[in-house]
Amino acid sequence: MTQSKALIAERYRLIESLGAGGMGRVWLARDEMLRRDVAIKEVIPPEVLTAEERDELRLRTLREARAAARLNDPNVVRIYDVIQTEQAPWIVMEYVPSRSLHQVITDEGPLPPERVAQIGLAVLSALRAAHAAGVLHRDVKPGNVLLADTGRVVLTDFGLAVFEGGDGAVTRPGLILGSPQYISPERAREGTSGPESDMWSLGATLYAAVEGRSPYARSTTYATLTALATEEPDPATRAGVMKPVLNALLRKDPRARAGVAETERLLQRAAAGEGRGFSWSLPALPRPRRSREGHSGSSGIRTSRSAGSVAPVSVPPGGASENSPGPFEARIEFLGRARGSAVVDPPRPLDVAPDDDDATVPPGQRWKWIAAAAAAVVLAVVAVIVLSDRDTTPPPVEAPATGQAARPTSAAAGSPSPTVSASPQVQGSFGTDVMQLPPGYHYETDPAWGWRVAVPDGWIKKPHESSKSMVYFQSNTDPRMRMGVDTTFTPPPDAVADWQQQERSRLRSGMYPNYERIGIDPVTNYHGLCADWQWRYDSSQGGRMRVSNLGCRVRPDLGHALYWEVPDSMWDSEPVTTMYGIIRVSFRPKPA
């Protein structure tokens, strides 16, 4: 879009690109007036954005500059100027020859605990200054921590920051952005941000530095968010003296999480007490390359392609996401508001945009990532989304009857898993509230049995041939894909044991040709005492199928089973996992 050597605002001469991504580009530039090198972030709105969204992006850019400019700390990239042009806004900032912590981890692997403690003290200093000024960063992660060639450690990219008295809700009412592997549980659950949220992200960042991966590194965004909602952080095996720090910061209850003072004390202890009372820096790093102006290629914006990085403000360089094997990690917008920002009303569906360290999301894939977000929000209820798939063999799902867990239908099928693993671990705490659905879905309710669930538009409702308690919904485009809900008023006390008994009984009857068990596993934090029975079998109607039959004892007098069946070959596809995720997260049993 912009030519090298171009002159911006008759003052800043662009020298070379330092990084680019889905929302813009970062340049090394020369300030012709003051004769110094600067980094300039060029915000390039994606073509898919509407005029209103482009205006919001401009406001977000201005907010970012204001948030960073009000901070006076050596561990924060300094903002020099903001330029508004007809094409796009530009942010002029301090040029910091550096590599991002993410790049260092990628190049060198896990770092020594003592060095990580020093990095932590520097980032903590930046967060202390930000919080004292009423600024919440909201996107602390390895890609936003710069390790300068001089040894200085800098926190950059205040693109998601909000502050009291500012325009924190500018990015569309009710939406909050974040990077899945480093976002705090309360942001995923409630969409709210406080200083505690930044402290969690600091803990996750330091975990990644010492372990070489984030505490919730999974094969997909969906799996990451699900783990965040339902599991404790992965055990740290390399942390050493950093373990007390990580344990204190990665507490899911924000009220129990370590604050700045406690974290500083623990980090100083981990760093052997060095650096008290002054700005933290690290031994100088060798400059990986030099720009045409004789400077290494980094600034206040990172770039994952080259050794030099620039401190990014929300400009994503291309490449793989941090600690993610997938093509890119999603940046997720959750319903809710940050403390100190405008109240959002009414709630709207989640939106997902590509993370700063990843490739751009094609317009048609936008809702796939929203779905991935919902999985994490399972714990929340205010969000929407997950991954799913369906199939068409007609075996009905039977809810746990007396002494039985919700039974799978007579014909088994493959149900898509939101993760690459066998079971779609969509877990979390659910209430009776109504979840906002993404386009293409509507709610179906059953007046007799009292449940409610999201169903893809166009799917056909079909009662079971012999069971009045079982209701199916079949795809109108691929009859092999289907989902069902069964109900019983006499659920068994042990869903796992009941599925095991049902499995033996059905195999004796020859119900599932070439049956292959994937697992019968308990599911926590869903709707009561639940177990998920998954298997594959050969269907005369659709070939090799995969099924998930999720049976729950909601309460002593009510049990439901959620049945999902799709061709085995489709199980792990994003459209299918997204669909199943939305269905599973949206399901609500009959109220008490």
Q: Are strands 543-555 and 529-539 parallel, antiparallel or unpaired?
A: antiparallel
Examine residue 291 and state whether it is found in any structural domain, yes or no: no
Tokens found for residue 36:
């110094």
Q: Give the pLDDT of residue 286.
A: 38
Q: Name the domain boundary from 53, 74, 94.
A: 94
Q: Are strands 145-148 and 98-100 parallel, antiparallel or unpaired?
A: antiparallel
Examine residue 24 and state whether it is found in any structural domain, yes or no: yes
> Nearest CA to 176 among 416, 397, 343?
343
List, as one string, the DSSP characters of 557-579: TEEEEEEEEEEGGGTTSHHHHHH
Q: Name the domain boundary from 72, 94, 116.
A: 94
DSSP for residue 409 = P
**221 vs 368: CA distance, rounded Å:** 10
DSSP for residue 216 = T
Helix (H) or strand (E) holding 153: strand 153-155
Q: Give the pLDDT of residue 333.
A: 33
pLDDT digits (tens, 9 = 90+) for 356-414: 333 333 333 333 333 334 433 333 332 322 222 333 233 333 333 333 333 333 333 33
Q: Give the pLDDT of residue 481.
A: 92
* Segment 190-194 mean pLDDT: 77
Which amino acid is located at 125 in the chain? S
Tokens found for residue 520:
């019968």
> Is the pLDDT higher at 519 or at 231?
519
**pLDDT surpasses 70 at 453:** yes
> Is the pLDDT higher at 245 or at 137?
245
**108 vs 115: CA distance, rounded Å:** 13
> Nearest CA to 2 among 64, 85, 62, 79?
85
**40 vs 317: CA distance, rounded Å:** 14
* Segment 307-316 mean pLDDT: 31
Give the 3-state secondary structure of residue 321. Answer: coil
Neighbour-count burial for 453-463, b at 16+ CB within 10 Å, e otherwise: bbbbeebeeee
Burial class of residue 439 in the structure, from the number of CB atoms within 10 Å of its CB (0-12 exposed, 13-18 middle, 19+ buried): exposed
**512 vs 535: CA distance, rounded Å:** 9
> Nearest CA to 257 among 313, 337, 202, 192?
202
* Segment 502-527 mean pLDDT: 89
Examine residue 465 and state whether it is found in any structural domain, yes or no: yes
Give the 3-state secondary structure of residue 501. Answer: helix
Phi-psi region of 138 (alpha: psi -120 to 50; beta: other; left: phi over 0): left
Q: Give the pLDDT of residue 161.
A: 56
Dihedral over Cα of 254, 260, 263, 265: its sign: negative
DSSP for residue 508 = H
Output the CA–CA distances (angstroms, integers) from residue 238 to 207, 208, 210, 265, 579, in the order listed: 9, 10, 6, 21, 38
Question: Residue 545, CB half-sphere, CA atoms under 13 Å: how many?
Answer: 31
List, as one string, the DSSP characters of 372-383: HHHHHHTTTSS-
**266 vs 242: CA distance, rounded Å:** 8
**217 vs 12: CA distance, rounded Å:** 40
| % of the chain exceeding 70 in pLDDT | 66
Q: Are strands 441-445 and 452-456 parallel, antiparallel or unpaired?
A: antiparallel
- Split at pLDDT 50, 70, 90, the class of 221 is confident
**74 vs 97: CA distance, rounded Å:** 15
* Catalytic member of 139, 351, 486, 568: 139
* Segment 578-585 mean pLDDT: 85
CATH of the domain at 438: 3.40.1000.10
Output the CA–CA distances (angstroms, integers) from residue 25 to 73, 84, 106, 141, in the order listed: 25, 15, 22, 19
**114 vs 108: CA distance, rounded Å:** 15
**pLDDT surpasses 50 at 171:** no
Lowest mean pLDDT among 23-32, 295-304, 436-445: 295-304
Q: Name the domain boundary from 94, 118, 138.
A: 94
Q: Give the pLDDT of residue 222.
A: 73
Q: Give the pLDDT of residue 544.
A: 92
Examine residue 564 and state whether it is found in any structural domain, yes or no: yes
Neighbour-count burial for 64-97, b at 16+ CB within 10 Å, e otherwise: bbbbbbbbebbbbbbbbbbeeeeebbbbbbbbbb
**Residue 139 known to be catalytic:** yes
**260 vs 194: CA distance, rounded Å:** 13
Q: Give the pLDDT of residue 280.
A: 40
Sheet holding 175-176, edge to edge: 175-176, 330-335, 351-354
Average pLDDT, the chain: 72
- Per the structure, the complete domain to which residue 465 belongs is given by 386-586
The residues with which 84 forms a beta bridge, in sequence order, are 89
Examine residue 250 and state whether it is found in any structural domain, yes or no: no
- Split at pLDDT 50, 70, 90, the class of 140 is very high
Burial class of residue 121 in the structure, from the number of CB atoms within 10 Å of its CB (0-12 exposed, 13-18 middle, 19+ buried): buried
Examine residue 78 and state whether it is found in any structural domain, yes or no: yes
Q: Give the pLDDT of residue 19.
A: 76
Examine residue 360 and state whether it is found in any structural domain, yes or no: no
Lowest mean pLDDT among 215-219, 237-241, 461-465, 555-559: 461-465
CB neighbour list of residue 392: distance below 8 Å, 6 or more residues apart: 413, 474, 475, 478, 479, 480, 481, 482, 541, 542, 565
Going by the annotation, the residues of the binding site for ATP are: 41
Helix (H) or strand (E) holding 106: helix 101-108
> Is the pLDDT higher at 472 or at 320?
472
> Nearest CA to 530 among 482, 493, 576, 577?
493
pLDDT digits (tens, 9 = 90+) for 539-569: 887 689 999 999 999 999 999 999 999 999 9
**398 vs 491: CA distance, rounded Å:** 11
* Number of domains the chain is built from: 2
Lowest mean pLDDT among 125-134, 413-422, 553-562: 413-422
CATH of the domain at 54: 3.30.200.20
**30 vs 212: CA distance, rounded Å:** 36
Examine residue 230 and state whether it is found in any structural domain, yes or no: no
